[in-house]
Copies of this chain bind each other. A is one copy, B any other.
Amino acid sequence: MAVTFKDVATLAGVSTQTVSRVTNGADNVTDLTREKVNKAIKELGYIPNKSAQMLSRGKSKTLGIVSLDIALHGVALIVNGVRQQAHDNGYGTVLSIVDSDNFERIKDEIRELLSQQVDYIVVNVPLTQFMAEELVHQFQQLNFMFIDVPENTKVNYVCAEHTEGAKSAVRHLLACKRSQFVLITGPKESTGSTLRYAGWVDELSKSQKEVVATYEGDWDAQSGYLSIREQIAKKREFDAVLVANDQMALGVLCALNEFGIRVPEQVSVVGFDNINDSAFFTPPLSTIGQSFVELGQQAVKLLLEPQETVEGEGYRQLILPTQLIVRSSTSLKIELGDHKQEILDYLDKARQLLR
């Protein structure tokens, strides 16, 4: 069925080795021979067998990715960054998707990748320090690179500056004179979410501001929406919401809007990630920007960097900056007092004119 290079060799009237030389672009082949072989290849529609190549060559020039669900936008962007950078360095990629809640499954997938002879593995799944170190130990691999793992973990990693970013969100809201905060985190397994939460709490406690409530979301808009509904049902006052990603913030905005609560006048909202869509929310969302693609790219860059650059027992580690992006979902708080309704009406008129 399948055309092998033996068929090509026969048709071209040369040895198999010569075929191999042609396909690998060796220079010590006559132009005439090369042509004959190429003609035979075309005629037969010959496609080399990668398994055989890998087996024979011993190395695969392949990079494995263990990742969360790519339906999450940020995850997909990271994977894109990894793939692109790997490709630019002549590496193919194998992608394997896992849930974050099953450590054994993750190990299985890594085993699977190793059985495919990948040269490197990028792990883009929230792991604890213990888990990450355990993986490196168990598989005795220096060729692991982790994304978003706790900072003091003794492995190669690339992280976003979650904590610092979260703090800058708080500082921004404090500058807006906000004082009653609702926090909406991501799933507690997520390292990124944990770090962001830590940043919020740390900065808030410094300034002695009140945390009215904390909710745990699942990154989806709906969980943000439900959190705020619950908060409103409880009739607790709040004037600021910190959200661990932009999608949940969309849900937050939706709920606030539904209950006639004005953003940013009454409540200010800050998201995290700066996904493309967030500039078009109603109102456009203030958020903490991070570059997912660069995260993925840097992971691969560091991994492929020649060993000399890395000193002794040192690990390859990098923390990428985040950036506060101010849009219309935050503003200086306006004390409405007795004239609340009147003010809101004026604001409405103002809005009309603003067009």
Contact across chains for B45 and A55 when beta carbons are under 8 A apart:
no
Binds B, one of A114-122, A299-307, A310-318: A114-122
Binds B, one of A165-173, A201-209, A276-284: A276-284
- A164 and B83 CA atoms in complex are apart in Å by 37
Q: Does A14 contact B (CB under 8 A)?
A: no
- Counting every copy of the chain, the complex holds 2
Contact across chains for A48 and B253 when beta carbons are under 8 A apart:
no
Contact residue among B47, B83, B224 (Cβ-Cβ distance under 8 Å from A97): B83
Q: Does A51 contact B (CB under 8 A)?
A: yes
Contact across chains for A48 and B115 when beta carbons are under 8 A apart:
yes
Q: Does A351 contact B (CB under 8 A)?
A: yes
Contact across chains for B259 and A355 when beta carbons are under 8 A apart:
yes
Binds B, one of A74-82, A152-160, A177-185, A192-200: A74-82
Closest to A138 in B: B45
Contact across chains for A247 and B111 when beta carbons are under 8 A apart:
no
Contact across chains for A280 and B254 when beta carbons are under 8 A apart:
yes
Residues in B neighbouring A139, C-beta threshold 8 A: 45
Binds B, one of A26-34, A65-73, A124-132, A236-244: A65-73
Q: Does A95 contact B (CB under 8 A)?
A: yes
Contact residue among B60, B76, B224, B280 (Cβ-Cβ distance under 8 Å from A76): B76
- A273 and B9 CA atoms in complex are apart in Å by 52
